[in-house]
Chains A and B, each alone.
Chain A
């Protein structure tokens, strides 16, 4: 069973679109115990990891990873010369910048400090792919605004947007001229499903959506539960027993 972190690193590396067959020098923000770094090494890249926790870095040393480690706070800036790295990844770390640990911390300033220094240490045209868990849309907007202020272009790629468990956010940032943003993964096989909003002139009547459903069928029960969830009410989780056919006497 492949670790979730490793899977996310694989996807982040995929989104990074590095030149094929060429070893690159990468930055791993919030590298922790080096799980993501191990994958980078496996793919033939060289990397430097930054983490704020000495305990995590000690554990990384015990695992004998190949990359170099730094004890540092990303909110204070990335301490490298301009144009040092060919790319940057981060797995489940950037959202921590939104927490103010000390009274004097202002998340927006720390985010801007991080993104502006990241922009500088990347080679022109390089990308940064940051997988994160935003608490809500305001947090995501705060993060993307600061990244844009720092000079990055790009956007958020969402994988499996319809699944609460599998949904993952990847903030893809480009430091050079605007590049094409990759499509997020989804359940649909044909990949025709749009992951960004489409603005069209035709308005589908809301009632049409429910016409297909027979009242009291399993489909209807699931739709009703989803509706109540959207309204913010407490709803039992869906299981294999939801809306099942009961015995006639019921």
Chain B
């Protein structure tokens, strides 16, 4: 699971709504993969990123060199974009858990795939 995906994931347990974000990340195994740098895509994703959640996740994973906030004119700042590219797309959590902040429900991550299946009592239906 890449950090970009983690930044967009939200808990869909019944009754939680917008308070289901951000999912608290705990990682026991992390991997860094090289991914081709696409400045266009990274620049387009920056406005969607929730910075507080990203910084919290990056701190949990002990990542260095994480920009604290988008700089002015970030679309042309290649250094900034490269750093964001590394944080969002190259760091992968292989084993760990995600915790819903409102209900406390744990979603395990195995082989890089979070298990978001809910029980009958937890679904909206």
Contacts and interface: CB of A to CB of B under 8 A. Distances in A.
29 contacts: A22-B44, A25-B45, A44-B38, A48-B5, A50-B116, A52-B117, A57-B113, A61-B112, A66-B35, A68-B4, A69-B113, A70-B114, A71-B113, A71-B114, A72-B116, A72-B117, A76-B124, A76-B125, A77-B124, A78-B12, A79-B9, A79-B11, A79-B12, A81-B8, A84-B8, A84-B48, A104-B120, A105-B125, A106-B125
B90 to A, nearest CB: 12
Contact residues on A (Cβ < 8 Å of other chain), bracket = 35 or more
B63 interface: no
A90 interface: no
Contacts, number: 81
- Counting chain B CB atoms within 10 Å of each CB, which of A66, A81, A109 scores highest? A81
B125 A81 contact: no
Contacts of A187: none
Contact residues on B (Cβ < 8 Å of other chain), bracket = 20 to 34
Interface in A58-92: 58, 61, 66, 68-73, 75-81, 83-84
B40 interface: yes
Interface in A7-53: 22-23, 25, 44, 46, 48, 50, 52
A81 B21 contact: yes
